[in-house]
């Protein structure tokens, strides 16, 4: 039987998001900020984070499709107009860094004023690209995790906590 083991509780997630939101708002003072949510995984994180950043904060969405072999990613959809804007890309998890690198390169083509990234989770053990999110919620060990937006073939996204999936 497959098993889920709680890794980060709902309370811990919400407390950390409050801290992240405050830290981001402090860094941008009262500037307007455009957050770019990577669908689908960052959906819940983005919703909670935006409310904690507060002030003049806007939201856009980006969808990426990734083919594994050969590894290749393509942006399928981007809702935004970000030229001259302060932007923060919102990701669920950064593992190898491939996705983050592709997204940052793509968004930079639109000449944002600044572009930073925030990831709820960082799994640095498998990093093979020289990228790191500017803000990180939690650093986790090399386990496959689900919940709070993260899925396994579409399942488990709606859990309010993050769990390690034990096959």
Q: Which residues of this protein are in contact with ligand IMP, per CB under 6 A?
A: 41, 92-100, 123, 144-145, 150
Q: Which is nearer to ligand IMP, 93 or 115 (CB)?
A: 93
149 binds Mg ion (CB under 5 A): no
Q: Three-class SS string for 23-81?
A: HHHHHHCCCCEEEEEEECCCHHHHHHHHHHHCCCEEEEEEEEEEECCCCEEEEEEECCC
The single residue among 21, 41, 112, 149 that binds Mg ion, judged by CB under 5 A, is 41
Q: Which is nearer to ligand IMP, 62 or 123 (CB)?
A: 123
Count, residues near Mg ion per rule CB under 5 A: 1
Q: What does the DSSP 8-state code read for residue 134?
A: S
- Residue 97's binding partner, choosing from Mg ion, ligand IMP, none, with beta-carbon cut-off 5 to 8 A by kind? ligand IMP
Window of 5-13, 23-31, 40-48, 135-143 that interacts with Mg ion by CB under 5 A: 40-48
What is the nearest approach in angstroms of ligand IMP to the Cβ of residue 53?
21
Report how far apart, in Å, the C-alpha atoms of 62 and of each of 3, 18, 86, 101 are: 31, 24, 16, 14
Nearest in space to 99 (alpha carbons), one of 112, 117, 80, 83: 117
- Residue 77's binding partner, choosing from ligand IMP, Mg ion, none, with beta-carbon cut-off 5 to 8 A by kind? none
Instruction: Please give the Cα distance from 135 to 79 (Å, whole number).
Output: 23
Give the binding site for Mg ion (CB under 5 A).
41
């Amino acid at each position: 039987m497959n098993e889920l083991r709680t890794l980060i509780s709902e309370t811990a997630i919400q407390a950390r998001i409050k801290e992240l939101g405050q830290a981001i708002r402090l860094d941008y003072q009262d500037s307007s900020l455009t957050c770019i949510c990577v669908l689908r995984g960052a959906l819940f994180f983005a919703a909670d984070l935006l409310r904690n950043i507060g002030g003049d904060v806007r939201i856009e969405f980006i969808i990426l499709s990734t083919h594994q072999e050969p590894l290749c990613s393509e942006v399928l959809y981007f809702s935004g107009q970000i030229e001259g804007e302060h932007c923060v890309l919102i990701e669920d998890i950064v593992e190898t860094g491939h996705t983050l690198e592709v997204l940052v390169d793509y968004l930079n083509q639109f000449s944002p004023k600044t572009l930073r990234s925030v990831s709820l989770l960082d799994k640095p053990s498998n990093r093979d690209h020289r990228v790191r999110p500017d803000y990180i919620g939690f650093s986790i060990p090399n386990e496959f995790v689900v919940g709070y937006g993260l899925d396994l073939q579409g399942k488990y996204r709606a859990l309010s906590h993050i769990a390690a999936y034990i096959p």
